[in-house]
Amino acid sequence: MKNRPMLAALVLVALGVVIGAAIVSFFGEDGITSAFAQVRKRIELGSGQPPVKIESSAQVLNNAFVAVSKAVNPSVVTIAVVTERKADPRMKQFEDFFGFRFFGPNQRGQRGQPQQQPEEQDDEEQQGFRSQGSGSGVILTGDGFIVTNNHVIEDAKDITVTTFDGHELKAKLIGRDELTDLAVIKVEPKSGITLTPSFVGNSDEVQVGEWVVAVGNPFGTLQSTITAGIVSAKGRGLSGRGGYNVENYIQTDAAINPGNSGGGLFNLEGKLIGINTAIATRTGAFQGYGFAIPVNLMRSVVEDLLDDGKINRGYIGVQITSVNEATAKAVGLDKISGVMVQEVMKNSAGKAAGLQEGDVILEVDGVPVKTSNELQSLVSMRRAGDNVNLAVWRDGKRITKTVTLKARDDEKEIVAEAGRPSTPADKEQDNAPIKFDNLGFTVEPLTGAQRKELDISSGVVISKVTPYGEAAKIGLRPGAVILKADKQLVQSAKQFQDILTAKRGQAVLLQVKDGSVVRLVGLEVPRQDG
């Protein structure tokens, strides 16, 4: 009985030997190896090696994107807000007309749709509606200061920040600036949580064509999304916002969508160069171009807000437009550059410094300016009380004006500086309408009713404008009044014709009153005109 287990074991061993010998005799040693190899081969997927060997230069670029993504992701946070506001149709009208989208809390996908409050809410809450939305922000300091867009946190009742590694922190508003669309919020880091601030670069060094990555939280759900592109342009202004808004955007084709607002635009060194703000779109989503606030402008705003929670921005107190080719010729500039002073405000810093309408501002503290939004941006980085040196083109000469900037509160109504002549009415023989065929417009003398209505004593009214003609191209419209030509007060249609005749083959500067707006425009006069 005790030997039975041993006997059974011996029988099993003998059986295994017999079966193994049978297999070897049937397949042979090579046959067994081949059979197992075939099994292994059947479970291998794809080809044995990649079809293309990547060049070392391409691998370097690939590694650069990987490295910058790892480096900057922790410095960008998700911002969730609960807001209460009344519907504002003005922003939608602007977006529909101009095709630009500034993502407010109620414009960021499903989470941003307005939700009515229950009837039991108090009267104050029932005046508006509550909604949830999300945006992005960039950590600036290790102790919790974060920059974002003003439109992300505007009207927020509650602000929650989610870090890259998933920690949720309550935030409070430190200050905001509507004119640059920037705001600063503050979180209190919990024990064991480390905040990673970004490295703030210098947006003046940004070059068109360089690679950039945009980091943010598109659609409120895709946290820590990175998209890549290039800098498409610098110094962009989004026409239509008007007023004192400071717009000097970096344009990029890196994909930016609702929820990216307030996130960072970084170069391949991981330097923060912009705060993502808006997109050009007709669909509400990305269509190829986004816009970021340059960090140099962001830095000046944030420093002001951290100082005392408000902006102490300085102003020159002028209305300006960019110089085009015709205007440059009209004032005698040898290249298209600078911004033209259209109007000077009463009691403004510019008025005190002696700026005049028709001046062309070429530089601010030695920095050349080519567009009106560049000038706005440079001046907005100074504070009230600061002195700025302006290089000005006037009467064919370059002069310097030192302006002590004032706060906007010191500036009152805008008043046109057009001269009010004391000369008598047009002579009888000068009262016939005159048509300028090659320029595409007709002028007529002012009637007594027009003089009274417009509160002017001289000028000629534009009665007709040919579509697509030269006059139409520079924005002249029927009903507008030409007050000056070549810096001369226009007393009659005949006198105006004489001025243009003398400027054949050149450009002439016109002062035009269109409604309540007075502006200067350059008009190129052909060598022959009717």
d(CA 192, CA 481): 69
25 is catalytic: no
- 261 as an active site residue: the answer is yes
Distance from CA of residue 328 to its chain's centroid?
27
Q: Taking phi first (over 0 means left), then psi (-120 to 50 degrees means alpha), and beta for anything else, what does residue 140 get? A: alpha
Q: Are 351 and 345 in contact (CB under 8 A)?
A: yes
- The single residue of 134, 136, 177, 181 carrying the catalytic annotation is 181
Q: Tell which residue, 271, 240, 263, 265, has the closest CA to residue 253.
A: 265
CA distance 473 to 469: 6
Give start and end residues of each alpha helix (H) in 73-229: 89-98, 123-126, 150-153
CB of 88 closer than 8 Å to CB of 131: no
Distance CA 429, CA 420 (A): 23
Query: Which of 198, 261, 458, 492 does the annotation list as catalytic?
Result: 261
CA–CA distance, 225 with 290 (Å, rounded to integer)? 15
Residue 151 designated active-site: yes
Whether 215 and 72 have beta carbons less than 8 Å apart is answered as yes
Q: In three state form, how does the secondary structure of 435-452 look?
A: EECCCCEEEEECCHHHHH
Burial degree of 287 (CB within 10 A; 0-12, 13-18, 19+): middle
Q: 131, 151, 224, 232: which is the annotated catalytic residue?
A: 151
133: phi then psi, degrees, rounded to nearest 5? -155, 175
Angle between helix 372-380 and helix 295-308 axes, rounded to 10 deg: 30
Cα separations in angstroms, 227 against 164, 215, 218, 267, 455: 16, 7, 11, 12, 56
- How many other CB atoms are there within 10 angstroms of residue 376's CB atom? 23
Paired tokens of 35: 């059979």
Instruction: Determine the Cα–Cα distance for residues 373 and 363; give it in Å rounded to an integer.
Output: 13
Rg (CA), the chain: 35
> Mind telling me the catalytic residues?
151, 181, 261
